[in-house]
Amino acid sequence: MRIGVISDTHGLFDPKVRAMFKRVDLIVHAGDIGRLDVISQLQEIAPVLAVEGNNDSFGEFPEERFENLEGRRFWIRHIFGELHQLRVKEKTRLEELHPDVVVFGHSHRPYQHLLGKTLLFNPGSAGPRRFSLPRTVGMLSLKRSGIDARIVSLD
């Protein structure tokens, strides 16, 4: 299964995303969507699982969600954090939930790190450029042998 991962669009749907995600089976949007038409355009490509971010107030999507995809447990939320930012609360939830993947956004920084058996994955921001951060999306490939993760530049 191939999953396109996007976050922090802040109302911008970059046409490059359509080409990058054309062969995905599913799209995960990790919040700060900005406008619902971003989700509509993503749904033209593949089914979408989305969460609302701290700048969203649609009431259309949960703040976090738990999904089983191809036998893997996914925890999707907008605000989580990189390894050095995790508080006791997040570490405790990781120990309770044992997710295979945590997908998050918020920082606009692409990030991937394996914490034990859990992949922490932030695709970065696909929205308007912010500071000197790159504009990126993520790709996850779920295989029997494991999960391949990569960050793809929109620039």
Give the pLDDT of residue 81.
84
Structural domain span for residue 70: 2-153
Contact residues for 33 (Cβ-Cβ < 8 A; gap 6+): 9, 10, 11, 39, 50, 52, 53, 56, 58, 61
Per residue in 50-101, pLDDT tens?
999 999 999 999 999 999 999 999 999 999 988 888 888 888 999 999 999 9
In the chain, the number of structural domains is 1
Q: How far apart are CA 14 and CA 142, in angstroms?
A: 25
CATH of the domain at 35: 3.60.21.10
Check residue 106 and report its DSSP letter. S
Q: What pLDDT, on the 0 to 100 scale, is given for residue 83? A: 82
pLDDT of residue 86: 85
Residue 155, pLDDT > 90, answer no
Which tens digits make up the pLDDT trace of 12-60?
999 999 999 999 999 999 999 999 999 999 999 999 999 999 999 999 9
Per-residue model confidence (pLDDT) at position 58: 96
Using a 10 angstrom Cβ sphere, with 0-12 exposed, 13-18 middle and 19 or more buried, the burial of residue 101 is: buried
- Residue 8: what pLDDT? 98
Q: Name residues whose C-beta falls within 8 Å of residue 99's C-beta, 6 or more positions apart in sequence.
A: 66, 73, 74, 75, 118
Tokens of 13: 């749907």
Q: What is the pTM of this model?
A: 0.96
Predicted confidence at residue 54, as pLDDT, reads 97
Averaged pLDDT, 115-130: 95
